[in-house]
Structure 1
Amino acid sequence: MNTTRIVAIATLALTLAACQTETYSYREPAPRQDTIEGQWVDPNGIISSFYNGRFETRTTDSNSLLAEGNYRQISPRTVEIELTSLLRNTTSRVNCAMVTPSQLNCTSSTGAQFSLARRA
């Protein structure tokens, strides 16, 4: 093969490569399943939100704030919540374990146990 032919083939290959286009479609990012952050719901429909160290619990019907506080990640699957109940005007501590990416099992400082499910 002569040099002119090699240069011509290389030029053709580069030209064809430059003509290729990729199409991108926007998709909503999937919710992270490896973090506690997001919204969780209890069997009564009460919504608990975990965002950037802040914790809130609200009713589903009127979106009324029931409790608020802070949380800290103890391990990748364990979180500790310090919360104030606005109904009872009490402060308590709750420890929760993420047993699956969509289920939290929680125990309050008084021994009460409950579960939360990740809200879709």
Structure 2
Amino acid sequence: MTVRRPRSVYDLGAEPDPRFTFANERTFLAWIRTALALMAAGVALDSLASALPEAPRRWVAACLILAGVVGCGLAWLRWMANERALREARPLPGLPLGIALAVLVAAGGLVLVALTLGAS
């Protein structure tokens, strides 16, 4: 018999309907893609937006990259929480990660608009 990891997830409850497990996996991968896009946006901003002032540009780029790194970790934690809830037939947890990401991206966008208008 193969041991499935992480054991903190797979040793709990009963095996859920595979459709729900696959949906949870697709959601996890969507969060990972979002995190990767944030990191790529940070690298692109730092590399390509030379018309913007250097210090604020670097801070925004670093924040975007850091948001991507944190997003990867939070996506993993959310996947585990959802999978545990599915295995134990409990309601799924809320979505504070989505709200935090929306606020972060909106704030970053506003800073970039201000920087762009100030550079003109």
For the criterion TM > 0.5, the same-fold answer is no
TM-score w.r.t. the length of structure 2 is 0.25
TM-score w.r.t. the length of structure 1 is 0.25
Q: Which has the larger radius of gyration?
A: 1
